[in-house]
């Protein structure tokens, strides 16, 4: 499963050099993950169980600049499944030029609000994530 959203670069996304500020890419990536989880269906149900996805690691490689009025596509998919964690691969592409702007690996843990600690993923989510991984191979 892969989810793709589009974001148009606005003036407030730019830095002094007139290209997208590096911190804005974190917001673009997060928007992509929220859209992915909306489609995947892993938000409200987990919260009702007292669980949440907590980001524990983000690695971003910047490849090209994003500029004012560019339309950027954020591609999001699962890439790795652990007992308590899941890693997502994200790519930001310039929709007009098909240029890779940035790519990131984001690791989440399943976090129990009650225990204030990472806990194993519920079995139904592990199976659902595994299926999504197999579909994207």
Convert the pLDDT of each residue in 98-137 to its tens digit. 999 999 999 999 999 999 999 999 998 899 999 999 987 6
Q: Is the pLDDT of residue 91 over 90?
A: yes
- Mean pLDDT over each residue of the chain, to the nearest integer: 94
137 part of the active site? no
HSE (CB half, 13 Å, CA atoms) of 56?
Answer: 13
The DSSP element (H or E) to which 47 belongs, if any, is helix 44-48
From 27-36, 40-49, 67-76, the region with the lowest mean pLDDT: 40-49
* pLDDT-based confidence at residue 45 (cuts at 50, 70, 90): confident
CATH of the domain at 68: 3.10.129.10
Q: Is the pLDDT of residue 27 over 90?
A: yes
- Listed in sequence order, the residues at least 6 apart from 47 whose beta carbon sits closer than 8 Å to its beta carbon are none
The DSSP element (H or E) to which 107 belongs, if any, is strand 100-112
* Residue in 15, 98, 123, 124 annotated catalytic: 15
Q: How many domains is the chain built from?
A: 1
Please give the distance of CA 22 from its chain centroid, rounded to a whole number: 16
The pTM is what? 0.92
State residue 19's pLDDT score: 95
| Mean pLDDT score, 75-99 | 97
State residue 106's pLDDT score: 98
CB 113 within 8 A of CB 51: yes
State residue 89's pLDDT score: 98
State residue 11's pLDDT score: 97
Domain containing 121 equals 3-136
State residue 43's pLDDT score: 65
């Amino acid at each position: 499963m892969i989810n793709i959203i589009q974001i148009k670069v606005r003036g407030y996304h730019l830095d002094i050099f007139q290209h997208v500020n590096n911190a804005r890419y974190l917001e673009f990536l997060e928007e992509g993950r929220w859209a992915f989880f909306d489609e995947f269906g892993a938000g409200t149900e987990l919260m009702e169980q007292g669980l949440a996805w907590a980001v524990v690691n983000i690695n971003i490689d910047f490849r090209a600049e994003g500029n004012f009025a560019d339309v950027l596509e954020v591609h999001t998919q699962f890439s790795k499944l652990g007992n308590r964690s899941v890693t997502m691969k994200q790519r930001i592409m310039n929709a007009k030029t098909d240029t890779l702007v940035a790519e990131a690996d984001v690791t989440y843990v399943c976090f129990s609000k009650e225990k204030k600690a990472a806990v194993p993923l519920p079995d139904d989510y592990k199976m659902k994530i595994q299926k999504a991984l197999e579909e994207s191979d």
